[in-house]
Amino acid sequence: MTHYDLVVVGAGSGNTIVDDRFVGRRVAIVERGPFGGTCLNRGCIPSKMFVHPADVAVAAARGPVLGVRTSTGPADWPTIRDRVIGRIDHVSEQGLAYRQGLDDVDVLLGEARFTGERRLAVDLADGGSVEITADQVVLASGSRPVVPPIEGLDQVPYETSDTVMRLDELPRRLGVLGGGYVGCELAHVFSAYGSEVVQVEGEDVMLSNQDHDVAAHVTKALQRRWDVRLGVKAERVAPAPDGGVVVHLDDGSSFEVDVLLVAVGRTPNSDLLEVERAGIATDERGLVVVDEHQRASAAGVWALGDASSEVPLKHVANQDARVVQANLLATWAGTDPDELVVSDHRFIPNGVFTHPQVAAVGPSEAEAREKHGGDLVVARHEVADIAFGWALAGGLDDDPDGTGFVKVLALRSTGRMIGAHVVGPMATVLLQPLLLAMAHDLPVRGLARSHYWIHPSPSEVVENVLIELEEALG
């Protein structure tokens, strides 16, 4: 049995914790999958590398509307796939080689599970197993796709976000189960590349966790591009005679696809670690329960990112990792436990890279109105009403590439924003100044006129919505 000063389970954001300040301490990093975690290997980085060519394809298809002789056809899937996978696999291999070359760090590739207090058994990928103990353990174990209990699913081939980006060829027909951010982004990718897409969502809109106006706008835009089935669920699936998959919905309808993508959510990996053996508490969703310092219920155990957060986003995991890193170093330096760094989860933004793009921070209008009632003030400005929107739409008021809006929420009693929602071109960029104002507790009054806004640029929609919000606040 080998003892370590620190064991990090998960080589995604958890890998970033160990830097030069850990030299001289014995560290083990345990990883069950490709080195680098979900984001690098099968999540946000490769998916956005696939999204960019999809956006180019959509733009090319619009060329004639703007008077440009562009066109698009089926994408060269192997070229796109190899560009993406070649890049991320190389980075993963480099990261692994770097860690394996460090004197004080052991990399253990395999499945870890707790056998006691800060004691783990690791079943190594190359055979055999080892048992390790540590003074401190960090759980950065991430999450995995949910596979729902659909009748017949175990009898047909299907893909998840972990596997679909490595397909051998572009499917002619793709079925997508799920209308969340993963399903919508990948449906956009494959539709833009030339696949016939059918997407199934049990709610009455896509992206149902977003503000309802945003979700309704996105749903309408996606319905223009592929077959969207709302308010229904997959009841059972079965093999098709030609080797595809037949999906039977609970409204009695059915459709056949060549490839089925299951994208109905993700679940934390805490159950695979058998955390209960170490006295580590989890909630009803399987998330490790942590305090404001990212400490778990068991002494000497910390957790971060998808292992413990209700918001499974990479920028949250990175922020959590910085907090854990600071608190580990402070603990070893003898800092009072009550003076450790506190995680700030007040203003967590999210972005959805479908087409149109979505970005948001804070509560939806419905959530804010339920909580704050008449104190809530809302302003909204359309992208089509700024000069840059005219350029995007080419004079066509109903062109989805020139539409979209920014909606902001504030409280009359404080004069501060509590939420912002953006849908349309460059939404994730346009959200950032609003997020900055919220994070720094800036008053709405005077914010729009505190600096210049470049004209004509997309940012003028933010300027205008802030002016309207200030007027609404009175």
293 neighbors 320 (Cβ within 8 angstroms): no
| Degrees to nearest 5, angle at CA 454 with 452 and 455 | 120
Q: Please compute the mean of the pLDDT values over residues 356-360 and round it to a whole number.
A: 97
CA distance 474 to 465: 14
Looking at per-residue pLDDT, the higher value among 338 and 24 belongs to 24
Beta strands, E only, 328-385: 350-352, 358-361, 376-382
Q: What CATH homologous superfamily does 153-264 map to?
A: FAD/NAD(P)-binding domain (3.50.50.60)
Residues 6+ apart with CB under 8 A from 440: none
Q: Please compute the mean of the pLDDT values over residues 243-258 and round it to a whole number.
A: 97
Whether the per-residue pLDDT at 84 is higher than 60: the answer is yes
CA distance 309 to 317: 8
CB count within 10 Å of CB 53 equals 19
Strands 129-139 and 301-303 come out as parallel
Question: Which residues does residue 425 pair with via DSSP β-bridges, in sequence order?
Answer: none
Whether the per-residue pLDDT at 397 is higher than 80: the answer is no
CATH fold of 356-473: Enolase-like; domain 1 (3.30.390)
Span(s) in the chain for CATH 3.30.390.30 = 356-473
- What are the backbone dihedrals phi and psi of residue 245, each rounded to the nearest 5 degrees, phi first? -130, 135
Q: How confident is the model at residue 101 (pLDDT cuts 50, 70, 90)?
A: very high
Which residue type, as a one-letter code, is found at position 343?
Answer: S
| Degrees to nearest 5, angle at CA 286 with 281 and 290 | 45
At residue 401, the pLDDT reads 65
Span(s) in the chain for CATH 3.50.50.60 = 2-43+80-144+267-339, 153-264
Query: Using one digit for the tens of pLDDT, what is the confidence trace for 148-192?
Result: 999 999 999 999 999 999 999 999 999 999 999 999 999 999 999
Pick the closest to residue 54 from 199, 227, 188 (CA basis).
Answer: 188
DSSP-assigned letters across all residues of 213-257: HHHHHHHHHHHTTSEEEES--EEEEEE-TTSSEEEEETTS-EEEE
CA distance 36 to 40: 6
CATH 3.30.70.100 fits 2-43+80-144+267-339, yes or no: no
Query: Using one digit for the tens of pLDDT, what is the confidence trace for 107-135?
Result: 999 999 999 999 999 999 999 999 999 99
| Degrees to nearest 5, angle at CA 166 with 235 and 76 | 105
Q: How confident is the model at residue 398 (pLDDT cuts 50, 70, 90)?
A: low
Whether the per-residue pLDDT at 330 is higher than 90: the answer is yes
Using CA atoms, how far residue 439 sits from 150, 419, 443, in Å, is 43, 11, 11
Q: Please compute the mean of the pLDDT values over residues 368-386 and round it to a whole number.
A: 97
What does the mean pLDDT of the chain come to?
Answer: 96
Q: Which of 3, 52, 345, 455 is catalytic?
A: 455
| 455 is an active site residue | yes
Six-digit token string for 35: 């080195």
H-helix or E-strand spanning residue 391: helix 387-393
At residue 399, the pLDDT reads 61
CA distance 406 to 350: 15
DSSP-assigned letters across all residues of 128-164: -EEEEEEEEEEE---EEE-----BTGGGS--B-TTTG
CA distance 153 to 158: 8
Taking phi first (over 0 means left), then psi (-120 to 50 degrees means alpha), and beta for anything else, what does residue 395 get? Answer: left
Residues 6+ apart with CB under 8 A from 76: none
Above pLDDT 90, what percent of the chain?
94
Whether the per-residue pLDDT at 136 is higher than 90: the answer is yes
Q: Please compute the mean of the pLDDT values over residues 232-259 and round it to a whole number.
A: 97
